[in-house]
């Protein structure tokens, strides 16, 4: 489905207009402008008149309009794009009605809706790095003084555990203590960033965000023996210092961006890393429910991971405070409606392996049988529920 695929690539770019409505500064309380009255007269009043108004929203008087504004209900339908029910308002109509909303501070409260800013560095003396200036300023405001600098050995231990998750070796410690050059710390940091353990350490954080697990979760919780290429993709990405935008695009659309490329193709494991109900049902409604749950898992994870936004609640209703409507939710969901759980062969780099010969198969048949046997007993034990494989 080429249509769906190109929209998947677009999505990372086009997901942000949700927030735009909140960022538009609105005028303070005023009587409705003639433009707003015109829109209400032509598009709303047929259902929201004086007698028996729909949803108990009477838009026939200034007081009624003010009530719809102050209760937040007008803003809600504008954000949801749900009124009038038959069509979407044009941009101009929408703007005329939004002008009725009370003024908001330019920056919405929720951090994830604020534009990225580059705040000026506080002027603090005796600071080596601009980030320290922010810390020093906050400490000063609270009347706290900083601790003395860490000892050499404490610093080495901390930086090594931070970047690789494991303590420094005796040899690394001795080398650092003996290094009295001005770049001794820089040398350590460069060595740690170049270590494969750096990617392994950092990948854990993203794999948590991506709700990665090597089993389906849910009732049966079957093992996913082939989930690891995604894990390795994340590790490789950190070790290669890949730009964030590329990292995200590959995970949303790696099947197109990485066609034929075994380094990138596994990135889409991100979309299907979540729990997956594998219990088949005879009832069509239940099967559809399972599918809806899978898609919700994908959409909610994309929201939480790359937008810093929990959007799963909009599966059932507009969010009460954030600008996420049910319509937005299903628009996003539609982008992923072609995604399914499944396995695919990774293209092998270089020559493909030769087909095993009959001779080889005959000579190794016992080994294959043993492997099968081990796989089978391992599976039976791990499903027994009384301990990990091999403990019984
Ligand atoms: C065809 C009839 C119809 C038209 C036209 C219509 N509405 Fe509604 N409206 C309804 C109904 C029915 C409800 C109550 C049920 C609902 O919320 O969906 C409602 C509810 C509302 C609510 C309350 C929603 C809430 O979440 O509390 C607001 C505010 C509103 N409409 C504003 C408008 C505005 C503004 C227009 C014009 C741009 C408009 N409506 C046009 C039928 C209509
Ligand atoms: C499976 C469907 C579903 C999901 C998912 C869901 N809700 Fe609801 N929610 C409902 C229903 C149904 C109501 C009752 C609506 C009503 O009374 O009109 C409701 C009502 C609410 C209300 C009260 C609304 C009011 O105006 O009084 C809040 C707040 C709310 N939900 C928040 C959330 C949050 C936060 C989440 C996500 C963590 C969430 N909901 C997820 C179905 C859902």
Q: Which ligand is nearest the CA of 304, by number?
A: 2
Distance of CA 57 from the midpoint of ligand 1 (Å): 7
Peptide bond connecting 84 to the previous residue in cis, omega within 30 degrees of 0: yes
Distance of CA 314 from the midpoint of ligand 2 (Å): 9
Distance of CA 45 from the midpoint of ligand 1 (Å): 10
Peptide bond connecting 31 to the previous residue in cis, omega within 30 degrees of 0: no
Give the largest Cα separation in the chain, rounded: 91
Separation between Cα atoms, residue 99 and residue 30, nearest integer Å: 9
Q: What is the pLDDT of residue 30?
A: 59
Ligand 1 binding pocket includes 101 (Cβ within 6 Å): no
Cβ(44)–Cβ(83) below 8 Å: yes
Separation between Cα atoms, residue 214 and residue 223, nearest integer Å: 6
Nearest Cα residue to atom 14 of ligand 1: 55
Q: Is 237 exposed, middle or buried (0-12, 13-18, 19+ CB in 10 A)?
A: buried
Helix (H, G, I), strand (E, B) or coil at 222: coil
Token pair for 157: 């231990």
Cβ(174)–Cβ(142) below 8 Å: no
Domain ranges (residues) in the chain: 26-103, 152-194, 200-335, 354-392
Among 293, 302, 245, smallest CA distance to 271 is for: 302
Helix (H, G, I), strand (E, B) or coil at 215: strand
Nearest Cα residue to atom 29 of ligand 2: 320
Ligand 1 binding pocket includes 55 (Cβ within 6 Å): yes
Distance of CA 324 from the midpoint of ligand 2 (Å): 13
Q: What is the pLDDT of residue 32?
A: 79
Please tell me what DSSP assigns to residue 223.
B
pLDDT in tens, the chain (392 residues): 333 332 222 222 223 333 333 333 334 445 778 899 999 999 999 999 999 999 999 999 999 998 898 888 899 899 889 999 999 999 999 999 999 987 765 555 677 677 788 889 999 888 889 999 999 999 999 999 989 989 999 999 999 999 999 999 999 999 999 999 999 999 999 999 999 999 999 999 999 999 999 999 988 888 998 999 999 999 999 999 999 999 999 999 998 998 889 899 999 999 999 999 988 889 999 999 999 999 999 999 999 999 888 899 999 998 877 778 899 999 999 999 999 998 888 877 666 667 778 888 888 889 988 888 888 776 655 554 444 444 33
Helix (H, G, I), strand (E, B) or coil at 175: helix
Nearest Cα residue to atom 14 of ligand 2: 317
Nearest Cα residue to atom 36 of ligand 1: 44
Q: What is the pLDDT of residue 109?
A: 67
Q: Which ligand is nearest the CA of 326, by number?
A: 2
Q: What is the pLDDT of residue 11?
A: 26
| Residue 258 CB partners (closer than 8 Å, separation 6+) | 250, 264, 265, 267
Separation between Cα atoms, residue 34 and residue 367, nearest integer Å: 85
Cβ(67)–Cβ(117) below 8 Å: no
**Residue of 52, 83, 319, 326 to mutate, ligand 1, most atoms within 8 A of C-beta:** 83
| Residue 155 CB partners (closer than 8 Å, separation 6+) | 149, 185
Q: What is the pLDDT of residue 197?
A: 97
Distance of CA 74 from the midpoint of ligand 1 (Å): 9
Cβ(324)–Cβ(330) below 8 Å: no
**Residue of 36, 69, 85 to mutate, ligand 1, most atoms within 8 A of C-beta:** 85
Ligand 1 binding pocket includes 54 (Cβ within 6 Å): yes
Separation between Cα atoms, residue 203 and residue 168, nearest integer Å: 20
């Amino acid at each position: 489905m080429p249509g769906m695929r190109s929209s998947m690539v677009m999505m990372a770019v086009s997901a942000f207009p949700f927030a735009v409505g909140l960022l538009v500064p609105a005028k303070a309380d005023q009587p409705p402008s003639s433009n707003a009255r015109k829109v209400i007269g032509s598009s709303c009043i047929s259902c929201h008149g004086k007698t028996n108004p729909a949803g108990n929203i009477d838009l026939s008087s200034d007081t009624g309009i003010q009530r719809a504004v102050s209760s937040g209900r007008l803003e809600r339908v504008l954000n949801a794009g749900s009124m009038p029910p038959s069509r979407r308002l044009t941009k101009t109509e929408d703007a005329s009605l939004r002008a009725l909303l009370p003024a908001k501070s330019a920056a919405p409260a929720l951090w994830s809706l604020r534009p990225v800013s580059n705040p000026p560095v506080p002027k603090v003396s005796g600071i080596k790095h601009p980030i320290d200036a922010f810390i020093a300023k906050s400490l000063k405001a609270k009347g706290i003084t900083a601790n003395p600098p860490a000892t050499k050995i404490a610093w080495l231990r901390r930086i090594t555990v931070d970047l690789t998750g494991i303590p420094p070796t005796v040899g690394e410690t001795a080398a650092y203590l003996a290094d009295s050059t001005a770049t001794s710390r820089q040398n350590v940091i460069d060595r740690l960033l170049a270590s494969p353990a750096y990617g392994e350490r950092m990948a854990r954080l993203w794999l948590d965000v991506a709700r990665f697990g090597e089993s389906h979760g849910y009732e049966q919780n079957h093992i996913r023996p082939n989930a690891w290429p995604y894990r390795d993709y994340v590790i490789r990405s950190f070790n290669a210092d890949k730009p964030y935008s590329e990292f995200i695009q590959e995970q949303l659309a790696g099947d197109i961006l990485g066609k034929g490329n075994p380094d990138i193709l596994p990135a889409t494991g991100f979309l299907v890393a979540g729990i997956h109900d594998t219990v088949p049902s005879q009832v069509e409604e239940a099967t559809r429910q399972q599918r809806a749950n899978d898609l919700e898992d994908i959409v909610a994870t994309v929201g939480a991971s790359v937008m810093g936004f929990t959007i799963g609640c909009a599966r059932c209703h507009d969010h009460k405070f954030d600008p996420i409507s049910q319509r937005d939710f299903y628009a996003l969901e539609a982008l992923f409606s072609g995604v399914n759980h499944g396995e695919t062969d990774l293209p092998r780099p270089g020559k493909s392996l030769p087909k095993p010969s009959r001779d080889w198969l005959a000579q190794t048949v016992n080994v294959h049988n043993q492997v099968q046997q081990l796989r089978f007993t391992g599976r039976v034990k791990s499903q027994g529920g009384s301990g990990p494989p091999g403990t019984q």
